[in-house]
Chain A
Amino acid sequence: MILLTFFLASFLQEPVQIPGVPKHLAVVDLDGDQKGDLVQVHEGLIVLLRAKECEPLRIPGTATLWAVVDWNQNGVEELLILEDGKTLFQVIRKENTLVLSEPLLENLAGTPPLGLHPADFILDLDGDGYLDLLIPVGDQVRIWQGGADGVTKGPLLHGLAQLELRTMEMAGGGMLAEYKRSYSLPYPRTQDVTGDDRLDLLLHSQGTVRQYIAQADGFPSLPSTEVVLDEFRPEFQSDELDFGNLAKLLKYVVVDEWADINHDGATDLLILGGGKVRVFLGDEDGINLDLKMPPLKLAGNPFYLTTSYIDEDEHLDLILMSVEDVGVGHLIKAALTGLKIEFRFMVFKGKGDGKFQRRLYKERKVVLESGRIQDEIKKGKDSLQEQRESIVRLADFDGDGVSTDIVLLSPDGMLSVWFDIAKSTGRVAEIANQFLRDAFADSGEMEVDLGTLTSWAMGRTSALVSLTQGLSPDWSYQLPDSWKKPHAMIVRDFSGDAADEIFVLRRPLSQDDGTTLASELNGWILSPNAK
């Protein structure tokens, strides 16, 4: 079987060699032929690879963003350039030269970071089928909203982008310190919070949650609702600081959970803070702070809440996590000798009307026991390292326009493909829910290790991979020549047949000394679909 797949795969592979190590590569349609063209973007130049005699394009501007997006909405991605935050162009191939199109959009009035940066700033934020733009304006972000009549100016968002300006390091270090400018624009969190089938925007910044409820004509210029989470935090009293029980400090932690707990289609808000759980119901305008349920008072040191279906009914239940009293000495000793901390998981049954039963429905004591923290961290790092070095991608190998196949490239160069198993990528919540259901299936004390807790808390890491567990791959291929990282993989349609191919690249060791990395990339384009 292995020999057969090797034979078939080796028959289908197409070698690719790229001199130098370009900063970025992209697969885009430059000439409208529906085939992916491979381009490199490096030192301000766009160069078409795997094609003869095509003049590169010097990217204009001093603060320019570029994006790979299906702007024409024809199922193939194009390369777009936002010059100095103002004017949007498409890169096209005209005979044997790469050129900019006529402006697609003008006067966007952005001020992105200086330099040339790839950015996924063109996206359908509200799910209406029209592309919107996120344009940085200093440390704020302007939404330009796409619609049937083109693009219109939307709200200016404060608190979405994270800007760090560093002129000194608090930790010192003398000349080891560095000046730093870091700008990060996270993927905005969108969710239909009103049940009108439009995606609304939730901004979580500096202790405030702002809801922008999408209307037929886009997002409003000001937040529809603001929830200041800090208002639920008790005022800090330094004399309450008790090094013998640091867990007391957890009362200053405010945790928010958003879920529809009364089945009206609108998302409701649960807040844990100051030893209480408060519930605010949502309506067609977002969270309504006047629609509050009686608070639930808690004992102990609760620090986490979530909702899940624990019992057999259709109502979401409330789950709280609490920790025993933990002193500094306890923690320091744990670092040296081993860790043993008791947590309590508590369930309060949901009634389906925004309220929870006040009587505890279920409780489990969870004993977290591990070796020395530094050993555990090292173990965790090793397993995380392997996970980080693997690359997982969704693909569409049958050309039906839906990516339901999974490709996994492991650190040793083993390519594995599972056809049609990723029907839904919304598995993250399912994994967490399953963990909780399992946890409450039994009674008494449960022992877990750090790894279990970590993979539960960081479920996205393994969400895709978990789909493949226990299943043999439908297609696999060991990449030759002692494949080693660093490596990269993308799945795109190079041939124009609507089905994806796999493009793998690595940076090999130099042939001169065999130890340093070579100044080139090489790899293959493979098509598992051709089996």
Chain B
Amino acid sequence: MLLSAFLLLLPQQIGHDRYVIDPAGEIMESAWFDSNANGSTDLWLAVKEDGHRFIQCYQQGKQGGFPADPTVNFRLSPAVVAWAVGNFSDAVDFPGADLIYTTRNAVYLQPFTGKRPKKIHEAEMLLDLPSSDFAPLWREVADMDGDGLDEILLPTREGFLILRGDGTLVGEIPISLTDARPPVASAVLSEGVTAKLESQDLSDLFIPNVELGIVDRPPVLHSEQLLPIPSFVDLNGDRLLDISWYRDRSLHQHFFSKNAGVTAEAQQVRNIPPESGRREKHLEWVQAGGGPAADLLVMRVSKGLQLTSDWQIRLYFDAAQRAPDAAPDFFRKVEGTLVVPYFEDLNGDGRKDVGLASWGSSGLLSLSEPHITFDFLVYLADQEGGFSKRAHIPLSVDYPLSDLKTFSLAPAISLDLDGDGMLDLLRSSGKGTIEVLPFEKSETLSLGKKSLEIPADVLGSVVEVKDLNADGVGDILVRRLDSWEIFLTFRR
């Protein structure tokens, strides 16, 4: 529903229409995917209402814009555990999205036409019990082989299963499940948040467990099984997506080939050595520069309970194609409570720079009022493939705690929001809005004046930016507890 339109105050004449998607039930999951292959991205929701679970699609109309009511509303079978949306089948009549459902021991495909789901594979799944309150979304969906159709990776009790939409097996990767012992004590703090006190080795050796228990008696039954979440990524630069996963300091790399698919054995296993006094905080394949092959990001923080940690950020270009012991191409240390990296061309010189958004605190040991601090540090890429030694700091903000009435989570860097073709920097005003500051084309780094202020005045709302209508300008999505607010761009 079009609620209002507000125009940006800017020379680019970009305006936004505001839509609110507020389903009657509770939003359990959200996904963005083009449902009808028209180039516009649509909103998919898993919603719980009146004790039932539904998959809803809010499809952008021909003129753009989102409807208030779902275009499609499927009631999920009680047997469905989890779902995925992707372009899994090549139905000519109905190009676009299809749904995949997993149950306790099978995989089903349902075309967007609403035809009955069809079983495409049988396997005992890791997620083996349906919940009446939740319908998790599988996110490992991608077109691995470049044929225009997506593949899906699913965790089973044997490891990973990689499937095409017609049930063809692309590969299986055997990985043993990790079993966790029952905790000594646990408490549900809120829905989905459980605090646990780990038990000792051999504590579950003897059955029955006759511990008196700390808070309560030990559970009647406890079963907890884990598998690593893998990454779909082009490891070797051949434009095909490979699979990589991590466990016990080993980074496994399975290269995809059109003939053999994905092999059970990893072609490469890279050791991620421990570092004394530090622990890994983030490990991810990224596209940060170098060649077409993926680059490896390794972030570590100092161990221990502290408000501010020493962060180490290492980046290895084209890592799968180089010796594992090669020196990192980027290595910086930053202090902060939370550090989030970005790899984007921030000054318009065609090279990807490294941006580090660092959150911290100040004024804690003095009599002055404590502040939350935000610094954005930029290391510009140079022509030689290196990065500036010293950080540019285009933005540094202090938020007094007492003034912090509303605060939204937003990415520091977003797609172009004002139509100038450059990326923008976002900052929370601390007063219920997100401010947009455009990067300017420059040999060094230059940040323009505030070009836009987005209302996001609900505590804990989460802001995302995506180009939903394919006009090259970012649309702003504000996720609230039970609704989405969408600011869709238009050009005047």
Q: Which residues of A contact B (CB under 8 A)?
A: 22, 24-27, 41, 62-63, 65-69, 111-115, 117-121, 123, 134, 136, 138-140, 158, 162-169, 172-188, 206, 238-239, 241, 243-244, 327-329, 332-333, 335-337, 374, 377-378, 384, 388-389, 392-394, 425, 458, 460-461, 463-464, 485-490, 505-507, 521
CA gap between A338 and B443 in the complex, in Å:
49
For the complex formed, measure the closest distance between the CB of A43 and the CB atoms of chain B, giving whole angstroms.
12
CA gap between A164 and B136 in the complex, in Å:
10
User: Is the CB–CB distance between B221 and A185 below 8 Å?
Assistant: yes
User: Is the CB–CB distance between B128 and A114 below 8 Å?
Assistant: yes
User: Is the CB–CB distance between A177 and B229 below 8 Å?
Assistant: yes
Partner of B246, one of A138, A172, A176, A389: A176
Give chain B residues whose Cβ lies under 8 Å from the Cβ of A243: 401-402, 404
User: Is the CB–CB distance between B137 and A181 below 8 Å?
Assistant: no
Give chain B residues whose Cβ lies under 8 Å from the Cβ of A24: 204-207
Say yes or no for B335: interface residue by CB 8 A criterion. Answer: no
- A187: nearest chain-B partner, CB-CB: B217
User: Is the CB–CB distance between A174 and B215 below 8 Å?
Assistant: no
User: Is the CB–CB distance between B184 and A183 below 8 Å?
Assistant: no
User: Is the CB–CB distance between A175 and B228 below 8 Å?
Assistant: yes
Interface residues of B, count at CB 8 A:
91
CA gap between A136 and B361 in the complex, in Å:
47
For the complex formed, measure the closest distance between the CB of B81 and the CB atoms of chain A, giving whole angstroms.
7
Given A327-B402, A393-B210, check contact A139 B229 (CB 8 Å). no
- A390: nearest chain-B partner, CB-CB: B200
Q: A174-B284, A333-B365, A490-B210 are known contacts; what are 11 more A-B pairs with Cβ within 8 Å?
A: A165-B81, A166-B136, A167-B138, A175-B285, A183-B224, A185-B220, A206-B191, A388-B184, A486-B200, A506-B202, A507-B202
Q: Which residues of B contact A (CB under 8 A)?
A: 78, 81-82, 104-105, 124, 126-134, 136-139, 155, 157, 178, 180, 182, 184-186, 188, 191-192, 194, 197, 199-210, 212-231, 244-246, 251, 280-285, 297, 304-307, 361, 364-365, 369-370, 401-402, 404-406, 458-459
Given A24-B205, A114-B157, A485-B200, check contact A238 B459 (CB 8 Å). yes
CA gap between A329 and B366 in the complex, in Å:
11
CA gap between A184 and B201 in the complex, in Å:
19
User: Is the CB–CB distance between B222 and A178 below 8 Å?
Assistant: no
Partner of B401, one of A177, A327, A378, A394: A327
- A337: nearest chain-B partner, CB-CB: B365
Give chain A residues whose Cβ lies under 8 Å from the Cβ of B218: 187
Give chain B residues whose Cβ lies under 8 Å from the Cβ of A114: 104-105, 124, 128, 157
Partner of B215, one of A117, A458, A464, A486: A458
User: Is the CB–CB distance between A332 and B244 below 8 Å?
Assistant: no
CA gap between A119 and B169 in the complex, in Å:
36
Max chain B Cβ within 10 angstroms of own Cβ: one of A118, A188, A241, A374: A118
Give chain A residues whose Cβ lies under 8 Å from the Cβ of B210: 393-394, 490
CA gap between A63 and B105 in the complex, in Å:
12
User: Is the CB–CB distance between A488 and B202 below 8 Å?
Assistant: yes
User: Is the CB–CB distance between A377 and B305 below 8 Å?
Assistant: yes
Give chain A residues whose Cβ lies under 8 Å from the Cβ of B134: 163, 165
CA gap between A505 and B203 in the complex, in Å:
11
User: Is the CB–CB distance between B227 and A175 below 8 Å?
Assistant: no
A-B contact pairs, 11 of them (CB 8 A): A24-B204, A67-B208, A115-B223, A139-B130, A163-B131, A174-B283, A175-B229, A177-B228, A329-B402, A333-B365, A488-B203
CA gap between A104 and B297 in the complex, in Å:
57
Give chain A residues whose Cβ lies under 8 Å from the Cβ of B200: 388-389, 485-486
CA gap between A337 and B367 in the complex, in Å:
12
Given A178-B226, A238-B459, A329-B369, check contact A183 B129 (CB 8 Å). yes
For the complex formed, measure the closest distance between the CB of B33 and the CB atoms of chain A, giving whole angstroms.
16
Give chain B residues whose Cβ lies under 8 Å from the Cβ of A120: 208-209, 220-221
Partner of A162, one of B137, B194, B203, B226: B194
User: Is the CB–CB distance between A179 and B127 below 8 Å?
Assistant: yes
User: Is the CB–CB distance between A181 and B405 below 8 Å?
Assistant: no
User: Is the CB–CB distance between B130 and A138 below 8 Å?
Assistant: yes
User: Is the CB–CB distance between B216 and A186 below 8 Å?
Assistant: yes
CA gap between A123 and B251 in the complex, in Å:
46
Partner of B364, one of A173, A238, A332: A332
Give chain B residues whose Cβ lies under 8 Å from the Cβ of A169: 229
Give chain B residues whose Cβ lies under 8 Å from the Cβ of A134: 220
Give chain B residues whose Cβ lies under 8 Å from the Cβ of A179: 126-127, 155, 226-229
Give chain B residues whose Cβ lies under 8 Å from the Cβ of A113: 128-129, 221, 223
CA gap between A24 and B401 in the complex, in Å:
52
- B105: nearest chain-A partner, CB-CB: A114
User: Is the CB–CB distance between B225 and A175 below 8 Å?
Assistant: no
For the complex formed, measure the closest distance between the CB of B358 and the CB atoms of chain A, giving whole angstroms.
15
CA gap between A488 and B128 in the complex, in Å:
31
CA gap between A117 and B129 in the complex, in Å:
15
For the complex formed, measure the closest distance between the CB of A24 and the CB atoms of chain B, giving whole angstroms.
5
- A161: nearest chain-B partner, CB-CB: B221
Give chain A residues whose Cβ lies under 8 Å from the Cβ of B204: 24, 118
User: Is the CB–CB distance between A139 and B214 below 8 Å?
Assistant: no
For the complex formed, measure the closest distance between the CB of A176 and the CB atoms of chain B, giving whole angstroms.
5
Given A165-B82, A178-B228, check contact A187 B216 (CB 8 Å). yes
- A119: nearest chain-B partner, CB-CB: B221
- A112: nearest chain-B partner, CB-CB: B221
Partner of A181, one of B129, B231, B245: B129
User: Is the CB–CB distance between B127 and A374 below 8 Å?
Assistant: no
User: Is the CB–CB distance between B231 and A174 below 8 Å?
Assistant: yes
User: Is the CB–CB distance between B208 and A140 below 8 Å?
Assistant: no
CA gap between A217 and B275 in the complex, in Å:
63
User: Is the CB–CB distance between A115 and B157 below 8 Å?
Assistant: yes
User: Is the CB–CB distance between B137 and A182 below 8 Å?
Assistant: no
Give chain A residues whose Cβ lies under 8 Å from the Cβ of B208: 26, 67-69, 118, 120
Give chain B residues whose Cβ lies under 8 Å from the Cβ of A506: 202
For the complex formed, measure the closest distance between the CB of B324 and the CB atoms of chain A, giving whole angstroms.
16
For the complex formed, measure the closest distance between the CB of B196 and the CB atoms of chain A, giving whole angstroms.
10
User: Is the CB–CB distance between B229 and A26 below 8 Å?
Assistant: no
Give chain A residues whose Cβ lies under 8 Å from the Cβ of B128: 63, 113-114, 181
